[in-house]
Amino acid sequence: MSPEVGAAPADGSSPRDHQEHSSSHSAGESHAHGHVPGLPEAVQVYDTTLRDGTQQEGMSLTVEDKLRVAEQLDHLGVAFIEGGWPGANPKDEEFFRRASSELHLGHATLVAFGSTRRPRAAADDDEVLRHLTNAGTSAVCIVAKASDLHVTEALRTSLDEAVAMASDSVAYLRAAGLRVFFDAEHFFDGYRRDPEFALRVLSAAEEAGAEALVLCDTNGGTLPDEVERIVAEVRRRTSAQLGAHFHNDAGCAVANTLAAVRQGATQVQGCVNGYGERAGNADLSATIANLSLKMGVQTIPADRLERLTAVAHHVAELVNLTLDPQRPYVGTAAFAHKAGLHTSALIRRSDAYEHIQPDLVGNGTRVVVSELAGRSTLQMKAAQLGLSLDSPALQRVLDTLKRLEHAGYHFEAADGSLELVMRAASGVRSGLDAFSIESYRVITDWRASPGGDRKAAKGAAGNGAGAAEDRLVHPWSSSGELTTEATVKVHVGEQRIVATAEGNGPVNALDAALRMAVEPHFTALHNVHLTDYRVRVLSSERATGAVTRVLLDTSDADGTWSTIGVSENIIEASWQALVDSVVVALVRAAAGTGSGETASDGGAAEAGEIAILPKEAAAATITVAEVEAI
Ligand SMILES: [Zn+2]
């Protein structure tokens, strides 16, 4: 079907494009091995995040989300984006409808997914196939059963009919002028049971005009040595382009993809961040990085590899799932170093403890500080912050960390609070004293609804109207209204500000009141918002009881930082972390390392410069309040 593997550019580009890609690939990348004989020169990267990836538990994307994810994938430079299954649900149908006018792909080809025709029916009047031809894409992918067990048990039809279903469906779609990719479902399990049937299905699709035969490990339990053996055997039986689609149930999805490529597969399917049902699909970031940087196989355009980390994080934001910090290549911990011994060597030779230069994939070396850390770790961290710490200052930081970590603080998870400790020790106080706190108070108040007994609550729920009635109520308790209000008193310059806010809980109310009090005075705080709140109760060595550790994540346009608070009182622990989260934004603005208008000034701005409060403001008390039901 397609020419000999490796002889032609697999991404559908012209030979001229291909040469340009190849030459830029080898230029200036010390980690990239040259082209390895026996390996394909290039593979097509086929992303199925929007179809297979959305099977992941907890992932629910709107059409808008899907369009934004597709833009990111195109920005990364994948060859194909599988957008969904038109006809299977109205959302995917709307996606394809809107994609044809709203999605402007510069690099990728959008693919619609579906299945073969039903058993004992004609392709002409099959609804699934009709939806595919109406999706408005130039390419489609259909799935067919390649395991005899699934044909006889799930489809309850004959093997001959299953082969005809594959053949008819591909022919129908080709006649409609579409490029057709063919997903052979349960291929590896099917091949183990009945290789002749699995190969018959492939041949039928190839003869009917399928462009690539994609070997799927649908249950995800195959190991790499078996993948190598089976793909090599298939390779000997067909000259068609082969694709690889692996699930990660045995933790081998990426390894299996690489094994398939070693045996000549030239289309690699997977999902950003390894999203997918159960243990997920093959992680495309690791697949791309391994192929490009370690195997010398071209994937996405070489000059876009450095986009891998940013795209992985951006997509994680769009699908609203926290990215696993340990995700290879792109996770925040992928190049994080903790032990002091490592980091002193890391300063001298970064390649001694890192398998690639992190910037090749757009990531960076991160030094994680804890009481285990030595002076060299702290020095490196200080250098990253643009601070110079002399020997006594360094010792002060070490002593502080040791004392606080003993009390339950955990600085490796709180880079923001650590930054404050280091800045305070360095003597550069810009931003640290931007405001001071006089007091804070939080009140939580519950009162029964008038006549709010158990019967009334049940009756209200039965009516099913209004948010208050829908509130989760223990069936044995009476219904009521819960309100939380916080008041914060702070001083900015000569001004005293009293702010009161309501919230859906004590931390939310405190955060709202603190922001209301200080945000109007500092431009650096305008885009700052909390993104995560985690509480852990630690058993204390002391007999007095447990302490609570609170970790907050905060983001602005330039990044994310974590702050920490520890106390026997959860409100106090939360307050410490909240105040730190605001102060980090201010010190970064003052130092010109973060957001805020002072960033362009650089260098040592005075603390006063980050305040937009008129200095001549009278020493009066300003009272602000937001009373609003949430
Ligand atoms: Zn799959």
Summarize the confidence of residues 149-160 as an average pLDDT: 93
pLDDT surpassing 60 at residue 455: no
Distance of CA 245 from the midpoint of ligand 1 (Å): 6
Strands 547-556 and 559-567: antiparallel
Residue 7: predicted pLDDT:
38
Q: d(Cα 255, Cα 272) in Å, to the nearest integer?
A: 16
What gap in Å lies between CA 398 and CA 410, rounded to an integer? Answer: 13
Which has the higher per-residue pLDDT, 8 or 277?
A: 277
The 3 state secondary structure assigned to 565-607 is EEECCHHHHHHHHHHHHHHHHHHHHHHCCCCCHHHHHCCCCCH
> How much distance in Å is there from the Cα of 277 to the middle of ligand 1?
8
Assign 543 to helix, strand or coil. Answer: coil
- pLDDT mean across residues, the chain: 84
Q: How far is the CA of 207 from the centre of ligand 1 (A)?
A: 24
Give Dmax (Cα) for the chain. Answer: 89
Q: How far is the CA of 563 from the centre of ligand 1 (A)?
A: 39
Q: What would the mean pLDDT of 167-175 be, rounded to a whole number?
A: 98
Write down the pLDDT at residue 6.
37
Local structure of residue 153 (DSSP, 8 states): I
Q: Residue 380 C-alpha to ligand 1 middle, in angstroms?
A: 44
In 3D, which of 327, 329, 274, 265 has the Cα closest to residue 297?
Answer: 265
Q: What is the pLDDT of residues 355-414, one digit of tens each?
A: 999 999 999 888 777 655 677 778 888 888 888 888 888 888 888 888 888 888 888 778
- What pLDDT, on the 0 to 100 scale, is given for residue 401? 86
How many Å apart are CA 465 and CA 455, to the nearest integer? Answer: 16
For the beta sheet containing 495-503, the strands, ordered from the edge strand earlier in sequence to the opposite edge, are 436-448, 480-492, 495-503, 621-626
Residue 208 CA to ligand 1 centre (angstroms): 23
With beta carbons less than 8 A apart as the criterion, state whether 431 and 583 touch: yes
Residues 6+ apart with CB under 8 A from 167: 204, 205, 207, 208
Task: Give 520 Cα–ligand 1 centroid separation in angstroms.
Answer: 50
Through-space distance between the first and last CA atoms of the chain, rounded to whole angstroms:
62
pLDDT tens across 14-25, in order?
Answer: 333 333 333 333
Say what the pLDDT of residue 612 is. Answer: 47
What dihedral angle (degrees, nearest 10) is formed by the CA atoms of 587, 592, 598, 602?
A: 140
- Expressed in angstroms and rounded, the spacing between residue 52 Cα and the centre of ligand 1 is 6
Q: What is the pTM of this model?
A: 0.69
Q: Count Cα atoms within 13 angstroms, Cβ side, for 478.
A: 10
Q: Which of 10-24, 72-86, 606-620 has the lowest mean pLDDT?
A: 10-24
Position 438 confidence tier, pLDDT thresholds 50, 70, 90: very high
Q: Which of 454, 485, 119, 49 is nearest to 274 (CA)?
A: 49
- Distance, CA 84 to ligand 1 centroid (Å)? 12
Q: Do domains 41-319 and 436-451+479-626 have the same CATH topology?
A: no
Ligand 1: centre distance to CA 120 (Å) = 25
Distance 61 CA to ligand 1 centre (A): 18
Q: Report percent pLDDT > 70 for the chain.
A: 81
User: pLDDT-based confidence at 3, cuts 50/70/90?
Assistant: very low
Distance 428 CA to ligand 1 centre (A): 54
User: By three-state DSSP, how is residue 117 classified?
Assistant: coil
Dist. CA 244 → ligand 1 center (Å): 10
- Local confidence band at 621 (pLDDT 50, 70, 90 cut-offs): low
Answer whether residue 342 shows pLDDT above 80. Answer: no
41-319 belongs to which homologous superfamily?
A: Aldolase class I (3.20.20.70)
Decide if pLDDT at 582 tops 50.
Answer: yes
Q: How confident is the model at residue 281 (pLDDT cuts 50, 70, 90)?
A: very high
Give me ligand 1 centre to Cα 367, in Å: 37
Q: What percent of the chain has pLDDT over 90?
A: 58
Whole-number Å distance, alpha carbon 116 to ligand 1 midpoint, is 16
State which residues have CB under 5 angstroms from ligand 1, the bound ion. 52
Instruction: Report d(CA 353, CA 381) in Å as an integer.
Output: 17
Ligand 1 center from residue 145 Cα (angstroms): 12
**pLDDT (0 to 100) of residue 557:** 77
Amino acid 23: pLDDT: 35
List the one residue out of 563, 555, 564 whose CA is nearest residue 594: 555
**Type of residue numbered 383:** A
Q: How many CB atoms lie within 10 A of CB 445?
A: 10
Report residue 471's pLDDT band, with 50, 70 and 90 as the boundaries. low
- Could you tell me the distance, in angstroms and rounded to a whole number, from the CA of residue 143 to the centre of ligand 1? 10
Nearest to 282 by CA among 52, 6, 50: 52
Higher per-residue confidence, 620 vs 615: 620
48-60 in b/e form (b: 16+ CB < 10 A) is: bbbbbbbebeebe
Distance 270 CA to ligand 1 centre (A): 8
Which residue carries 């890609």 as its tokens?
Answer: 21
Give residue-wise pLDDT tens across range 102-147.
999 999 999 999 999 999 999 999 999 999 999 999 999 999 999 9
H helices of 482-569, in order, are 506-518
Ligand 1 centre to CA of 218 (Å) is 5
Interval 54-81: pLDDT, tens: 999 989 999 999 999 999 999 999 999 9
CB within 8 Å of 25: residues ≥ 6 apart: 32, 292, 298, 302
Give the tens place of pLDDT for each residue, 285-334.
999 999 999 999 999 999 999 999 999 988 988 888 888 999 999 998 99
Question: What confidence category does residue 620 fall into, taking pLDDT thresholds of 50, 70 and 90?
Answer: low
Cα of 485 from ligand 1 centre, angstroms: 49
Output phi, psi for 86, to 5 deg.
-65, 135
State pLDDT tens for residues 176-220.
999 999 999 999 999 999 999 999 999 999 999 999 999 999 999
* Residue 422: pLDDT over 60: yes
- The pLDDT value recorded for residue 36 is 78
440 Cα–ligand 1 center, Å = 53
pLDDT at 565 over 80: yes
3-class SS of residue 215: strand
Q: Is the pLDDT of residue 174 over 70?
A: yes
For ligand 1, the distance from its centroid to the CA atom of residue 254, given in whole angstroms, is 13
pLDDT of residue 272: 97
- pLDDT of residue 2 exceeding 80, the answer is no
Model confidence over 496-525: pLDDT tens digits? 999 999 998 899 999 999 999 999 999 889
Q: Which amino acid is at 177?
A: G
Three-class secondary structure of residue 486 per DSSP:
strand
Distance of CA 280 from the midpoint of ligand 1 (Å): 9
Residue 185 Cα to ligand 1 midpoint, Å, equals 8
CA of 253 to the centre of ligand 1 (A): 11
Q: How far is the CA of 176 from the centre of ligand 1 (A)?
A: 26
Which tokens belong to 67?
């369009």
Is pLDDT at 250 greater than 90 in this prediction? yes
- Residue that wins the pLDDT comparison between 368 and 271: 271
- What CATH number does the domain located at 436-451+479-626 have? 3.30.160.270
Domain range summary for the chain, segments of one domain joined by +: 41-319, 336-426, 436-451+479-626
Strand partners, 81: 47, 110
Is 211 in contact with 179 (CB distance < 8 Å)? yes
Q: Find the 282 Cα to ligand 1 centroid distance in Å.
A: 9
CA–CA dist 550, 79 (Å, integer): 43
Residue 329: strand pairing partners:
none
- CA of 47 relative to ligand 1 center, distance in Å: 11
CB half-sphere exposure, 575, CA atoms < 13 A: 18
What local confidence, expressed as pLDDT, does residue 336 receive? 87
Residue 369's nearest CA partner among 588, 582, 562 is: 562
Cα-to-centroid distance, 86 and ligand 1 (Å): 17
